[in-house]
């Protein structure tokens, strides 16, 4: 008969608790995700920045946005209200670089199933007089809503970039 040490045998209650956590995913928070989309336009970077650079100009190039209300503070906060009036986003500008033609912002409140959302929009000049717009973000999707979060943000980014291209020429 072989003698085994009792300290190597975990108590049954610990095994059961560990098993329950693994099965239920109770200890597994949603992982951070990133998104990045870019579009080329046949317009000078300064022209593109004139269209999209002002913080509330988003109402002019993001199709779902019907109204943008800026608080006038520095750094500014904006409230975006959808055209149908059914949703609102509150966003705070977190960085701005006029020389690099970029700004960053974060959600303070959003109907999307995400938390910790931050994003940057940047316009880069190309050698041929055209420009590239890059919109990138990071966020934590709500658990179980990863696809919904990704689909929603992808749709927003692509619609916005397509509208900018339509306004400035592809």
Give per-residue pLDDT as tens, 49-73: 999 999 999 999 999 999 999 999 9
Cis peptide before 23 (omega within 30 of 0): no
Residue 164 burial (10 A CB sphere; 0-12, 13-18, 19+): buried
**Prediction pTM value:** 0.81
CB 58 within 8 A of CB 52: yes
The string of pLDDT tens digits covering residues 139-154 is 999 999 999 999 999 9
H or E element, residue 142: none
The answer, yes or no, to whether residue 4 has pLDDT greater than 90, is no
More confident residue, 118 or 169: 118
Query: What are the beta bridge partners of residue 35?
Result: 137
Q: Alpha-carbon distance 16 to 141, whole Å?
A: 29
Asked if residues 108 and 92 have their Cβ atoms less than 8 Å apart, the reply is: yes
SS3 of residue 18 by DSSP: helix
25 alpha-carbon distance from chain centroid: 25
* pLDDT bracket for residue 29 (50, 70, 90): low
Position 12 scores a pLDDT of: 37
C-alpha–C-alpha distance, residues 69 and 51, integer Å: 17
Query: Is the pLDDT assigned to residue 114 strictly greater than 80?
Result: yes
**Structural domains in the chain, sorted by start:** 30-54+97-168 (3.30.530.20)
| pLDDT number for residue 30 | 67
pLDDT at 3 over 80: no
Instruction: Give the pLDDT confidence score for residue 18 in this predicted structure.
Output: 31
Taking 90 as the threshold, does the pLDDT of residue 8 lie above it?
no
- Looking at per-residue pLDDT, the higher value among 161 and 27 belongs to 161
Q: Give the strand order in the sheet containing 77-82.
A: 33-41, 131-141, 114-125, 102-109, 88-97, 77-82, 65-70
């Amino acid at each position: 008969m072989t003698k085994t040490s009792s300290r190597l045998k975990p108590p049954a209650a610990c095994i059961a608790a560990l098993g329950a956590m693994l099965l239920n995913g109770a200890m597994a928070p949603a992982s951070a995700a990133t998104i990045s989309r870019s579009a080329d336009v046949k317009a000078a970077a300064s022209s593109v920045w004139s269209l999209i650079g002002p913080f509330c100009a988003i109402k002019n190039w993001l199709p779902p946005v019907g109204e943008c209300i800026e608080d006038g503070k520095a750094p500014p906060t904006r409230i975006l209200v959808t055209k149908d009036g059914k949703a609102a986003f509150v966003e705070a500008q977190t960085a701005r670089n006029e020389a690099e033609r970029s700004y960053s912002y974060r959600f303070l409140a959003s109907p999307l199933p995400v938390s910790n959302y931050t994003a940057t929009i940047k316009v880069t000049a190309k050698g041929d007089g055209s420009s590239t717009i890059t919109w990138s973000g990071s966020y934590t999707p709500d658990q179980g809503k990863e696809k919904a979060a990704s689909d929603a943000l992808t749709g927003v980014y692509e619609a916005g970039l397509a509208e900018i291209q339509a306004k400035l020429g592809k």
